[in-house]
């Protein structure tokens, strides 16, 4: 069964990729989608078998490599953490495949698109089933490759190509740290296999390692290097800049990246390596601070974005910060629980946004929407459910998982001190901001007066419309009033229309997940008997009682995220339904802050100044001066050029005229006589 779960997407990729022209677009869609559906069904069977039954197992596939002391098998590590990820990856991917049949129906390159989707899924499955670090790194790089191919799928769009390059390059920074971490694990333990590594960790707590001229605690350094990889893949603060731009790819790709693959890889990796992190408290403190900062930072930027997909993208960045806070305080199961629930409502929101874009003939700017609930009621209902789940409305998916993280952050104050306090405050504030920008998106899109072409504009404007000139960055300009999401040229003269059934079915299934995934599995993931479900798939130290302490926090802590959610909802309703003139006035009164948030804290500009322009200057210098002047000028090209020059001049002496040769001889004799007379004189 596990071979089928992992390799069916690979088979789909090979069929659509190699024989796509032969079987056609429809054949490629049917083959890849059918195989993913089968893989998803098998994943749910495995989830209940392992999580609520048999426990862990190991499936040997082949011997991969043997070199000295390095022995690497290709094997599947099947435990509760693995099957949770199998459910997340294959469920969301199968629904994205199905949704794409409707969403991509106009694209002539559908076989290539569906092949890439299946490759993306296979790479993520290789990552989550890995039995060792090297196999995990194979999947890690595989999702990086697939994301590059899918973000830049429309390679004719310069913005898509730039976004794909940005994602690839930023992830290389994190991957370098991850690779160093793998090397260090091998140096410390003599293995990359988890079953060999984990039993040795407790004995390495006092071991030091010299790195960059300093002596480090070996496990702290290992965990920090590994977390550097997680920061890149999961778009944490400082390495986050690629994630919002990844929405340049088709909307189904955004759903797959943001909900099930790529960004969840970092969270999974830290959870899988919990034995290492649990014995590296300094590294866990760094994880807490980075996660909390990311949650707050991304939420502030999401407040003012006008592109519907960009708002949801920053929401993903923020929610990943929540997950890392949970991992940092030692509540690993709470972090994975939020990953699990987040997959449903974030995929729902992205696919819902795609349905809106489809209805609006590829319009993405929310300022050109409004009043869509009457025209696309099913999409509006799905987006309402997704928004409620994301903001933590009681009894929906996000309520159980996100609130558990906030409560665990408070419970960790006694153990983690300032870092946990810092995280608790920022997460509650971020919960308020999340509610505000999520309902802002809903109200601007589905409520109010229609603002698309042919209906005129609301008298007061929306979403800082009056002050758009106060600081659109380059990307905001790219998505101005007539920007297109994926295709070109349908205009805005037609009324919005509901999406076809093939796109609505995934929305309905994901809506069920957003409604029920929280209460259905909360006891298994974070309940009092959670250890029976996880079966040691996640490691917690003997002094780590955070999941028990989480249930004993004061009532005001339990109520704080709910109150924050209500405050955000009330503000969004007041500013975008009751008084739509307020946002413009607020932006005008605070132009510096507005531009600061709209331009994403100017990280792109800072990185462009610090890294991109110097790298371009160095590259151009080496090209023009190093390669062109030195190597070409003085190297083989230069020598051959000089030989040709000399040869051309020498050849001119051979004229073929006798009197020229006689004259040369005469000049030679005259020179010889002159030299003789001077020398003798």
CA dist., res. 8 & res. 147, Å (int): 19
pLDDT over threshold 60, residue 477: no
DSSP 193: B
- Per-residue pLDDT band at 371 (split at 50, 70, 90): confident
CA dist., res. 100 & res. 104, Å (int): 5
- Per-residue pLDDT band at 456 (split at 50, 70, 90): very low
Report pLDDT for 631.
Answer: 73
Mean pLDDT check: name the lowest of 101-105, 617-621, 634-638: 634-638
Other Cβ atoms closer than 10 A to 78: 24
Arithmetic mean of pLDDT, 347-362:
92
pLDDT over threshold 60, residue 469: no
- The residue with greater pLDDT, 635 or 206, is 206
pLDDT over threshold 60, residue 474: no
Instruction: Give tens-digit pLDDT for 1-51.
Output: 899 999 999 999 999 999 999 999 999 999 999 999 999 999 999 999 988
Report pLDDT for 318.
Answer: 95
Arithmetic mean of pLDDT, 580-596:
92
pLDDT over threshold 60, residue 492: no
pLDDT over threshold 50, residue 656: yes
DSSP 653: T
Report pLDDT for 328.
Answer: 95
- Per-residue pLDDT band at 454 (split at 50, 70, 90): low
- Per-residue pLDDT band at 571 (split at 50, 70, 90): very high
Report pLDDT for 494.
Answer: 67
Report pLDDT for 649.
Answer: 82
Decide: residue 651, CB within 10 A, 0-12 exposed, 13-18 middle, 19+ buried.
Answer: exposed
- Per-residue pLDDT band at 400 (split at 50, 70, 90): very high
Report pLDDT for 508.
Answer: 96
Beta strands in 200-337 (DSSP E): 208-211, 214-217
For residue 276, give the nearest of 207, 335, 215 by alpha carbon: 207
pLDDT over threshold 80, residue 479: no
Helix/strand number for the chain, H first, E second: 30, 4
For residue 508, give the nearest of 364, 299, 646, 347 by alpha carbon: 347
CA dist., res. 140 & res. 150, Å (int): 16
Report pLDDT for 301.
Answer: 95
- Per-residue pLDDT band at 681 (split at 50, 70, 90): low
- Per-residue pLDDT band at 52 (split at 50, 70, 90): confident
Q: Tokens 């590294």 correspond to what residue?
A: 283
Residues with Cβ within 8 Å of 32's Cβ and at least 6 positions away in sequence, in order, are 9, 12, 13, 15, 16, 97, 114, 115, 117, 118
pLDDT over threshold 50, residue 481: no
Q: Which phi-psi region, left, alpha or beta, contains residue 480 (left: φ > 0; alpha: ψ -120 to 50)?
A: beta
Q: Give backbone dihedrals phi and psi of 499, rounded to 5 degrees, phi first.
A: -70, 160
Instruction: Give tens-digit pLDDT for 422-441.
Output: 999 999 999 999 999 999 99
CA dist., res. 114 & res. 150, Å (int): 10
Report pLDDT for 65.
Answer: 87
Query: Can you read off the two tokens belonging to residue 670?
Result: 């005259």
CA dist., res. 610 & res. 591, Å (int): 26
Our CA angle for 269, 415, 266, nearest 5°, is 10
Arithmetic mean of pLDDT, 472-498:
47
Decide: residue 415, CB within 10 A, 0-12 exposed, 13-18 middle, 19+ buried.
Answer: middle
Instruction: Give tens-digit pLDDT for 594-605.
Output: 999 999 999 999
Query: Can you read off the two tokens belonging to residue 625?
Result: 């001066």
Decide: residue 129, CB within 10 A, 0-12 exposed, 13-18 middle, 19+ buried.
Answer: buried
pLDDT over threshold 80, residue 170: yes
Report pLDDT for 224.
Answer: 96
Arithmetic mean of pLDDT, 238-246:
90
Instruction: Give tens-digit pLDDT for 403-413.
Output: 999 999 999 99
pLDDT over threshold 70, residue 493: no
Report pLDDT for 54.
Answer: 76
The whole-chain average pLDDT of the chain stands at: 88
Arithmetic mean of pLDDT, 120-129:
96
Report pLDDT for 653.
Answer: 76
């Amino acid at each position: 069964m596990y071979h089928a779960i992992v390799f069916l997407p690979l088979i789909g990729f090979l069929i659509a990729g190699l024989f796509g022209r032969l079987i056609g677009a429809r054949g490629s869609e049917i083959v890849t989608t059918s195989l993913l559906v089968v893989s998803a069904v098998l994943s749910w069977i495995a989830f209940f078998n392992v999580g609520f039954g048999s426990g862990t197992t190991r499936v040997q596939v082949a011997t991969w490599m043997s070199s000295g002391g390095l022995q690497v098998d290709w094997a599947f590590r099947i435990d509760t953490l693995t099957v949770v990820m199998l459910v997340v990856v294959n469920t969301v991917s199968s629904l994205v495949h199905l949704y794409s049949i409707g969403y991509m129906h106009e694209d002539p390159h559908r076989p290539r698109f569906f092949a890439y989707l299946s490759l993306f899924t296979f790479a993520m499955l290789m990552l989550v089933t890995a039995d060792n670090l090297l196999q995990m790194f194979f999947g890690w790089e595989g999702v990086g490759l697939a994301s590059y191919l899918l973000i830049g799928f429309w390679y004719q769009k310069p913005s898509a190509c730039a976004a794909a390059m940005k994602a690839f390059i930023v992830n290389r920074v994190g991957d370098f740290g991850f690779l160093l971490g793998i090397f260090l694990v091998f140096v410390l333990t003599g293995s990359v296999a988890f079953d060999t590594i984990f039993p040795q960790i407790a004995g390495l707590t006092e071991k030091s390692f010299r790195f960059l001229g300093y002596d480090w605690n070996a496990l702290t350094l290992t965990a920090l290097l590994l977390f550097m990889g997680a920061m890149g893949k999961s778009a944490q603060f400082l390495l986050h800049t690629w994630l919002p731009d990844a929405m340049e790819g088709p909307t189904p790709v955004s759903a797959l990246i943001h909900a099930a693959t790529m960004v969840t890889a970092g969270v999974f990796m830290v959870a899988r390596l919990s034995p290492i992190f649990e014995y590296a408290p300094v590294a866990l403190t760094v994880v807490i601070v980075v996660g909390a900062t990311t949650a707050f930072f991304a939420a502030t930027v999401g407040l003012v974005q006008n592109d519907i997909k960009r708002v949801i993208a920053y929401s993903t960045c923020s929610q990943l910060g929540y997950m890392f806070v949970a991992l940092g305080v030692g509540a690993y199961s709470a972090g994975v629980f939020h990953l699990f629930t987040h997959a449903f409502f974030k995929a729902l929101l992205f696919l819902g946004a795609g349905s809106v874009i489809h209805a609006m003939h590829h319009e993405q700017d929310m300022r050109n929407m409004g009043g869509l609930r009457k025209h696309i009621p099913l999409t509006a209902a799905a987006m309402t459910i997704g928004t409620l789940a994301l903001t933590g409305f009681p009894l929906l998916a996000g309520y159980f998982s996100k609130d558990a993280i906030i409560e665990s952050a408070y419970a960790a104050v006694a153990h983690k001190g300032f870092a946990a306090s810092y995280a608790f405050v920022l997460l509650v504030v971020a919960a308020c901001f999340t509610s505000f920008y999520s309902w802002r998106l809903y109200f601007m899109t589905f409520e109010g007066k229609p603002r698309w072409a042919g209906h005129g504009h609301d008298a007061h404007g929306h979403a800082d419309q009056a002050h758009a000139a106060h600081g659109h960055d380059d990307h905001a300009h790219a998505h101005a009033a007539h920007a297109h999401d994926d295709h070109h040229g349908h205009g805005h003269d037609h009324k919005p229309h509901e999406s076809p059934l093939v796109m609505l079915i995934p929305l309905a299934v994901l809506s069920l997940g957003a409604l029920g995934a929280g209460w259905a599995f909360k006891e298994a993931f974070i309940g009092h008997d959670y250890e029976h479900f996880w079966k040691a798939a996640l490691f917690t130290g003997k002094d780590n009682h955070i999941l028990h302490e989480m249930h004993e926090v004061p009532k005001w802590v339990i109520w704080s995220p709910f109150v924050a959610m209500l405050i955000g909802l009330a503000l969004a309703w007041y500013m975008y339904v009751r008084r739509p003139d307020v946002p413009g006035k607020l932006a005008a009164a605070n132009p510096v802050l507005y531009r600061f948030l709209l331009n994403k804290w100017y990280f792109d500009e800072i990185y462009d100044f610090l890294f991109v322009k110097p790298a371009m200057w160095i590259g151009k210098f080496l090209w023009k001066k190093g390669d062109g002047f030195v190597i070409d000028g003085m190297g083989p090209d230069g020598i051959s050029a000089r030989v040709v020059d000399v040869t051309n001049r020498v050849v001119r002496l051979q004229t073929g005229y006798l009197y020229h040769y006689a004259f040369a001889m005469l000049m030679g004799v005259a020179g010889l006589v002159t030299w003789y007379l001077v020398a003798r004189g």
